[in-house]
Chain A
Amino acid sequence: MPATMTTAAAADTSASEKPPSGADHSERVKAGTALFRKSVRQILVDRCLSCHGGDSLEGEFNLATREALLKGGEKGPAIIPGKAGESRLYRMITHAEKPPMPYDEEKMADDEIAAIAKWIDLEAPYDKPLVEGGVELKDWTERTIENDAKDFWAFRPLNSAQAPEFDHDDWSQTDIDRFVLRALQNKAIKPNDVADRRVLIRRTYFGVIGMPPEPADLQRLMSDQSPDWYEHMIDELLDSRHFGERWARHWLDVARFAESHGFEQDYNRDFAYHYRDFVIKAFNMDMPYDQFVKWQLAGDEIAPDDPLALMATGFLGAGVFPTQLTENEFEPARYDELDDMVSTMGTAMLGLTIGCARCHDHKYDPIPAADYYRIVSTFGQTIRSNIEVELNSAETKQAIAKWETDHKPIADQLREFEERELGSRFDAWVASDALDELTSSQNPEWLVLHVANAKSAGGATLSVQPDESILATGTNPDFDSYTFTADTYLRDIRSLRLEALAHESMVKGGPGRASNGNMGLGTITVTAEPLSGESKPIAVKLTNPRATFEQNNGNLSIAASIDSSKNTGWAVDPQFGKDHAAAFDFAEPVEFAGGTRLIVTLSFNVNNKHNIGRARLSISNKANSPALDAESQPQAVAELLDLIASGEIPKNGPRRVQLMSWYRTRDPEWQKLSAAVAEHNQLKPKPNLATVMVSSEGVKPIKHNADGRGFPHFYKETFFLKRGDSTQKLRTANPGFLQVLTSADDIDQRWNVAPPDGWHTSYRRRALANWMTDADGGAGHLLARVIVNRLWQHHMGRGIVSTPNDFGKQGELPSHPELLDWLAQQLIDANWRLKPIHRLILTSSAYQQSSAYDDRRSTIDPENRWLWRREPRRLEAEVIRDAMLAVSNQLDRTQFGPGTLDPSQKRRSIYFMVKRSQLIPMMQVFDSPEPLASVGNRPSTTIASQALMFMNSPQVREYAGGLAARIRSAGQSDIVDQAYLSGISRKPTHVERASAEAFLKTQSTSYQSDGRSVDDSDRLALTDLCQTVFSLNEFVFVD
C-alpha cells in the first residue's frame, strides 16, 4: 500500500533525527529490559529467531542482537525505538504490513503482540544477544542440514518390518493383505470378500491395459475352470503390448509430457514423441525402474549407442520454453528452464518439491537453496537437440558385419583381376586395332573431361556415368552446389563447355531436379592448379557465355551465371527433356607443364531444388571459341592417342593409373566383375535413421527465434542466485546432491564417473542418476517408495501416500507405512522390475475386494483409507475413448510413431499429439491435465460437457455406429445382450432387456416414419442404443 510506505519512510527519518534521551529514557530502558527478560526474549526466540538470525537470515534481517535489529533487513530498520506503532516489526506481526509474520505460521497471541509493542515503546532494550556468543551465520550457499532433518519418515532407510501373522485369517492371500488386515483390525472393521469374477475381469483389464475384455475373452475367462485362472489372466495382461500404453500415460502426466514449446508461438516439437514411445516400450519390456530413471536423466551418457536411452532424455526437455525472447530475458528464461527440469525430476522421481528451494531454503523440507542450485548446475549445460539416431544400431551393425564378410570375396576377385590381369590386357588392347574405332573423329574440338571426384555440398549422390556425365540422385537439397575435379594433360586450355543433359530419373526428363524439371545455375567458377603442386591455383576468369537455350536473356540467362549475383543464372524452362549446353572462354589460356587439375564449382541458388541432374564438362584448346555442338572426344582417348603418337605409354605412375581407369570400363571381364561388386553393394544394409529430440550437452541446439539476437541456449556456469534472481549472482554453483538423501560418505568413488577423453558431455547427470538410484547411500530408497506408491495409487484408487508428488512434510503421511516400505524393498529385491510389484498388488485380496458398501464401516472409515472395500472409479479420459473404440471394433492398434491432433483418428488416445495450445477437447473434458507441471493425481469431475460429449460428439456417434455394425454383422438375434456384453461385460437384466427392446422398437418406428427403410431404421435404432450403452454409468465407472 503506497500510503503505508510513505508513512513508514517518514517515520524512519524522524527516528534517526530525534534520538531519545533523558532520565525518562533510562527508566524506560530499565522497564524494557525487565520485560525483555520476562517474556519478549522467549517470544523472539520461539517465533522469530530461526529465520532471522538463528539458522537463516530471511530478508537479510537478523534480530539476534539489538544492533542488528536496529539496522534491519533489506526493507530497512525493523523498529523505531519508542514507537511500536510505526515499527515495521510490529506492523508485520499485527499483519498491518506484508508479509505477515511469523511467516506461514499462526499469528502471535494478542498478549505476545502486546508485550512486544510495549517493549518497543520502552526502547526495545536487550540484556544480551538472543544467541550466546553472538551469531556467525554461514553463507547460505554453504549451508548444511541438521542431522535430525533426516529423521523424517520419507528420508529414513526402508523399514524392514515383515507382514504380521494372524491365527485366524481366511481373507489374506498375500503379505500385502496381512499388512492391510492389521490396519483394518486396528479400526475393528472387516474387509470385503473377493468380487465376482466378471467384476474382477473388467476391473483388471481396465487397470492393466486400459481396455475392456473382448466378449470372447470374457467368455473364455468366465468358463476357465483352472484354480489359477486369475493369475494366468494377470500374466497375459501384463504381457500385453497394450500394458505399456496404459501405464505410460500415468507416467506422462508425471513427466508433464508435451510435444510443443508453449508460450508465444507454441511451435511443435516434431521429434518429441520418441520419449512417449520410450516410456511405452520400457514398461512393456519391464525395464528395471532404476534404469528407467537413470536413462531419463542421463541416457545419453550411460548408453549413448542405445536409441531408447537417447529417447529417454526427452524427459528433461519436455517442459515449456519461450520461443520469443529479448536480451534481458535470455538468462532468466534459462534459469526457468533449469528449474523446470529440477522441479519435475524432484516431484516425479522423489516426490519432493525441490523447486520450492529456488528463492530461499525450502520452507518445510530440509532442502537448502544451496542444494537446489547444486542440482541445477548439474543440468547447466544440458539443452534440447534434434539428432539423427540409428534406431537399430545393434541389428544394423550385425547386418553390416555379415554383409562385409559376404562382400570380401566378390571385391577381392575384382581387385585381384585389376592387379594381375588388367595391365597386360590393356597393353594387348593398345596393340590391337580396337583403338581405331575410337578415333573416328578427325578433328575433335571438345575434350570430354573425366571427373575423378564429384562432391555435392547438400548430400546428393553424384556418380560418373560411362559417357562421363555426372548423374545426381538421392537427396535433392534446396540449394545444392557441386564441385567437380578433373585432371588433364591438355595444353593451352581456352574454353569450357558445361552440358546439362536430360535423364529419365528427373521430372519431365530434366535437365534440372526441380519439381518441373528445371534447373538454375546461380554461379559457375573454375580453378586451375598444377598437378605438380609447384605453383598456386589460378581462379579462371570466364568470358563469352553462350548456351543452346536460355529461359530469358536477363536473370535466367547463361550470362547471369557468371555475374555477381548468386541468385540469378541459367535456366531452361520450358525446354525440358532435352540436352542443353553452355560454354565459356577463358580470359587467359591455362596450362601447366606436367598436367593441370581443373576444379569446377556449380552452385544452384536461383530457386529451391533447381539443381542440375546430369552434367558433363568438356574443355577445348581451340582459339576459335568452338561451337556448342562441335565434335567431341573423351579426354582419355585423346590423351592416349597423344601418348601413342609420342610412342611412350607409361608403364606406371599416375598417367598409367588414369589410363587404366578409363580403359577398364571397356574391358568385358572387368565389366562383369565390377557389376558383381556393384550389385552386391546395393545389398548393403542401410542404417535406420530417425530424428529424435534428446537432452544432452555439446549438441546443436534447436533453432530459436532469438538466435539472431545472440541467444546462447545455455551458460557455461551456473550461479547461486539470491532470491532466484539471475541478476543477483553470488558465486559459481557446482554439481551436488540433496544432503537429506545422501548417507554415503564415499561420494566421489560411488557416483562420480569421469567421461572418456574427447567425450562431448560432462557426466554430471550420470553422477546424479547414480545417486538417485542408490538405495543404500543415495536417494534410491525414496525413489522406490515413490514409484511403488504410484503403482498402488493407480491400482487401488489412492496412494498409500495420498499426495503422490509430495512425500515431504506438507504431504500426507502414509496410511500403511510398513506396507509401503515392504513394497519398496520388494521392488529393489526384484532388481527394480515393476511387473512383479504389479503382480503382488493384483493378486492381493485387498485389490480383489468387492465394492459392496456398508453403512457401519463407512461411518468408521468414510474415506476408505483402510481399504475395507473397493471404491468404484471413473475411467480416465483416454480409457473412456479407447474403450469405446475397442468395443466398436474400430480401434487401430498401430503402436508408436508421430501422433496427430485429428480428433477422428482411431489409434489409442496416447497417440494424440500433445500440443500445449491445442489439447484434445475430448481428453480435457475428462480431466486430462494441462502438461505444464508434473501431475500425480488427476481430479475426477462430473460436468455437463462430459454428458454433451456422449450425447452429441460425432466421434461417439461414430463409435456407436461401429458397435451397432459389429453386432448386426454377427447376425445373432439377442442384439441387446450383445450390446451389453460388448459394452459393460455382462448381460442385461430382464428389466433392462425389456426397456432396451421397447426402445429399439420406438426408435425404429420413428426412423421409419421419416421414410427410412426398415433395415436402415433398425440400424439407427441400434446405434441409438449403443450410444446409450456408452453413456451408462456402468460404462465409465468400474467397480
Chain B
Amino acid sequence: MLQHSWLHRRDLLRRAGSGAGLLGLTTLLQSEGLLRPAGAADASNPLAPKDGHFDGRVKRVIWLFINGGPSHVDTWDYKPELEKSDGKELEGFDRFTGFFANSVGPLMKSPFKFQQHGECGKWVSEIFPNLSQHVDKMAFIHSGHTESNNHSPALFMMNTGVPRMGNPCVGSWVTYGLGSESRNLPAFVVMSDPKGRGLPKGYSLNWGAGFLPSVYQGTWLKPQGDPIDNLKPPADLNKSRQRAQLDLLASLNRQHLQQHAAERDLAARVESFELAYRMQVAAPEALDVTREPDHIQQQYGIGDEKCDHFAKQCLIARRMVERGVRFVQIYSGGMENQRSWDGHNDIAGNHRGFAGETDKPIAGLLADLDQRGLLNDTLVVWGGEFGRLPVAQKAAKPGRDHNPHAFTYWMAGGGIKGGTSYGATDEVGHKAVDDRVSVNDLHATILHLLGVNHEQLTYRHNGRDYRLTDLAGNVIEKILA
C-alpha cells in the first residue's frame, strides 16, 4: 500500500467519511505503521515507514558512488582483445564521444594485470586485491550505457534518471515511497569526499528532492565541523535545562491542543520535539565509529592512512543501515580530473590511487554486513556516472576520456545472484552490445529489490505524474536470485 497519508490525509478523511470509515482509517494507519500509542499523530509524518508494492528483498541501500567515471576496462570488464590491439586506431571512432575531441589516441591496453577470482572465476584488475575476494557476492552488469558524455548531466542521469536538473534522486524517491525505519536518524544520508577535493559536479543537486517535498532530500554529512545541523544544544542549555524547557513546551502545547483537538498537524508537532530530543543522542552515536571494536575498525581499514577516510564512511554507512536508515550514498572522489576517478591523465596512477582508497573499506563493509546477516536485506551498489574509453587520451602519462556507451556496475546483497555477470561490451569495451542496460533499468532494478514497482511509484507535479524511470525501465531479472 503506497499511500502517502500525510499528503492525502484530507482525501482519506473525506473518503473515510462517517464512523465506519474512520475505523477504516485507523486500520489503514496501523497497516502503515503510522499509528503510535500517542495517537494518530504520525499521520503528518512524511517519513513514517510504509510498505512497498510487494515484499522486497532488501530494506535499504548503500550506494558507493564511484565518482568521475571509473574505467570499466581497467577494473571489472576484462578485455584480452584490447591488450592485443594496443596502439591500433579504433576504426570508425567518433572523436566527439568523450570530452576532449582533440586528444584522442589509439586503443590502449589496461595498465593493470587481471586475474581470476572466486568460484565464479571472475577476472578482476589487480587494483582490487581485497574486493576481488568478494566476487561471488556480486552481480556484475557490464552493459550499462547512459545519455551524456559530460559529468554533471551524467551524474543527474545516474542519480535522478534524467540528464537535466530538476528531478528527485533515487534516494529521495525511495524515502518518498518507503519512508524510514529509523525515527531517530535521517532517512537518506549522503557522504562526500572529506579530503578537500570538492563535491561531485552539480553538488547537492545530486541528492536533491527535485519536485518532491524537500523532506525527502538527502542529508549531507558535512565532512568538516558538525556533520548534521542543530544536533548540539546551545552551550547554555545543559541536559536538564533543555529537558525542563521541552517539558514546559510540551505542557503549554498540550493546553493549546485541548482547544484544537481536531488539528492533527499540531499533535504531530508536539511529538516531533520528543523525537528531536532523542535524535540528539542517536545521531552522534550512529556516527561515532570509535564505538566499534578495534578488529572491526581494522577490517574496514581505519588507521590505514591511504583509506582511513573512506573506511570511516563505510563503517558509518553500516551503523546507519543497522539503525534503519533507508538509503546511504558515499561518493568516492571529489570533483573532476585527478580529484576523482576522472582519469583523463595518467589513468594508471589515478585509478590505482582511488582503488587504494576504497578497496579495503568496501571489502570490509561487505564482509561486515555479511557476518551480521545484514547483507541479506541490504543492497550494496557500486558504480559511477559513466565508463571510460578504450582509446587513450593523449598526455605525457596517457589517460582515458569519458565513455557514455559502456560502464560496469555491480550489486551485492539481498535478492542478488552472486557471481553472475550480465551483459557485455564489444571486444575492446567501447560500447555495450549484449543485453544493454539503461540507467532506467538500473533504477527499476533497485526499486524492485526494495519491493517497489517503478511504474507505480509516481508523484504529480505541474500536471504530470512523474516516475523515477520516466517511461522506460526494465528490471534486470537475470541478476536476481
Contact = CB atoms under 8 A, between A and B. Distances in A.
A234 to B, nearest CB: 26
B148 A810 contact: no
A945 interface: yes
Interface stretch (A188-196, A476-484, A990-998): A990-998
Interface string A986-1026: 00010110011001001100110000000000001001110
Contacts of B242: 951
A624 interface: no
Nearest to B437: A2
A948 B226 CA distance: 14
Contacts of A930: 166, 205, 208-211, 214, 217
A872 B462 contact: no
A853 B148 contact: no
Contacts of A935: 211
A768 B457 CA distance: 38
Given A805-B462, A996-B248, A1028-B249, A853 B260 contact: yes
A1033 B471 contact: no
A22 to B, nearest CB: 39
B214 A1032 contact: no
A525 to B, nearest CB: 36
Contacts of A1025: 248
Interface stretch (B269-277, B289-297, B325-333, B368-376): B269-277
A1032 B280 contact: no
B121 interface: no
Interface stretch (A82-90, A118-126, A212-220, A917-925): A917-925
A941 B153 CA distance: 30
B255 interface: yes
B16 to A, nearest CB: 8
Contacts of B269: 942, 946-947, 1033, 1036-1037
A947 B276 contact: yes
Interface string B365-392: 0000000000000000000000000000
Contacts of B149: 326, 328
B463 A853 contact: no
Contacts of B313: none
Nearest to B477: A1
A995 B209 contact: no
A1033 B463 contact: no
Contacts of A992: 252, 255
Interface in A29-86: none
A1003 B256 contact: no
A1028 B230 contact: no
A325 B149 CA distance: 9
Contacts of A996: 248, 252
Interface in B185-217: 186, 199, 201-205, 208-211, 213-215, 217
A940 interface: yes
B44 A942 contact: yes
B348 interface: no
B236 A1033 contact: no
Contact of A327 (B96, B165, B201, B238): B96
Contacts of A329: 148, 150, 153
A81 B275 CA distance: 64
A989 B255 contact: yes
Contacts of A949: 229-230
Contact of A263 (B13, B152, B434): B152
Contacts of B266: 872, 1033, 1037
A949 B13 CA distance: 31
A264 B201 contact: yes
Given A1024-B245, A1034-B256, A863 B13 contact: yes
Nearest to B12: A862
Contacts of B6: 941
B46 A941 contact: yes
A1000 B46 CA distance: 35
B104 to A, nearest CB: 13
A939 interface: yes
Given A327-B96, A995-B248, A952 B233 contact: yes
Nearest to B257: A1033
Given A927-B214, A943-B46, A1002-B244, A933 B461 contact: yes
A553 interface: no
A266 B204 CA distance: 10
Contact of A1032 (B152, B186, B199, B253): B253
Given A858-B262, A992-B255, A945 B96 contact: no
Nearest to A921: B229
A808 interface: yes
A607 interface: no
A954 B226 CA distance: 13
B480 interface: no
Contacts of A929: 211, 214
A916 B205 contact: yes
A875 to B, nearest CB: 12
A324 interface: yes
Given A329-B153, A806-B463, A945-B276, A957 B234 contact: yes
A280 B47 CA distance: 35
A328 B273 contact: no
B320 to A, nearest CB: 16
Given A924-B217, A1027-B245, A932 B166 contact: yes
A320 interface: yes
8 contacts: A265-B201, A343-B462, A930-B217, A952-B231, A952-B233, A957-B236, A995-B252, A1036-B269
Given A933-B461, A941-B215, 20 more contacts: A263-B152, A263-B202, A264-B202, A266-B205, A322-B153, A326-B149, A863-B10, A925-B214, A927-B213, A941-B44, A943-B47, A944-B272, A944-B276, A945-B186, A948-B229, A951-B280, A1032-B256, A1037-B265, A1037-B266, A1037-B269
Nearest 3 Cβ contacts at the A-B interface: A917-B203, A353-B463, A947-B276
